[in-house]
Structure 1
Amino acid sequence: MEQWNNLKELINQGNTDQAIEQLDQLLGEGSNTGGKDTLYYLRGNAYRKKGDWQQALNNYQSAIDLNPESPAIQARAMLMDILNFFHKDMYNQ
């Protein structure tokens, strides 16, 4: 979908707030039920790039709930590994 590519590009360029705003609008419309998991996945990517780990995990989980085969599974696992590493590292200081 053209719109998804535009959103991916915004996220890649670091325009995360603009991407999140557009994703919020698309998710709020409710008419786009097909592919909603992709919208949550993209929003998770935007929050991850922004450094908002909790929102990223929440959005990845929403994508997984809608589509158990979503690429959000790998993204969420990767983020959990990163967070677990950071937390373990904090204890060793």
Structure 2
Amino acid sequence: MDKIRQLIDEGRMTDAIELLNDYLATHPDSDEALYLRGRAHRKAGRIREAINDYLASAAIRPDGPAARAYRMEIEIMDFYDRNLYNP
């Protein structure tokens, strides 16, 4: 996972996601891999995919970082939605 974290830090989201997809094909219950793929999706601007991965990871490990990341995404979306209605 260190290599994947490094790829994410370097901004190489496509490479990180490909490695994570390969890993998750044989380790589908890895909350860490799901969380990291969610982070990579988030940094690539794919919020829906990020939220899906955060939820899957949080289902496996409810007290993990993905649960916090999910709540943060929801708070951000709520903030932006309110502003759309209140210019």
Whether these two folds match at TM > 0.5 is yes
Q: How far apart are 1:56 and its partner, in Å?
A: 0.4
1:42 aligns with 2:36: yes
Q: Which runs of 5+ in 2 are unaligned?
A: none
Q: Which amino acid letter does the alignment assign opposite residue 15 of structure 2? A: Q
1:11 aligned residue: 8
1:92 aligned residue: 86
Secondary structure of residue in 1 paired with 2:64: coil
Alignment of 1:4-83 (within 5 A): 4-30=1-27, 33=29, 36-83=30-77
- Cα deviations across residues 23-49 of structure 1 (Å, max 9, x unaligned)? 00000023x75xx00000000000110
Identity %: 33
Q: Which runs of 5+ in 1 are unaligned?
A: none
Q: How far apart are 1:57 and its partner, in Å?
A: 0.5
- Greater shift, 38-47 or 73-82, is seen at 73-82
Q: How far apart are 1:20 and its partner, in Å?
A: 0.5
Normalising by structure 2, what TM-score? 0.91
Query: Whole-Å Cα distance in 2 between the matches of residues 82 and 49 of structure 1?
Result: 14
Q: How far apart are 1:67 and its partner, in Å?
A: 1.1
Query: Whole-Å Cα distance in 2 between the matches of residues 70 and 23 of structure 1?
Result: 18
Query: Whole-Å Cα distance in 2 between the matches of residues 70 and 9 of structure 1?
Result: 20
Q: Which amino acid letter does the alignment assign opposite residue 85 of structure 1? A: F
CA RMSD after TM alignment: 1.3
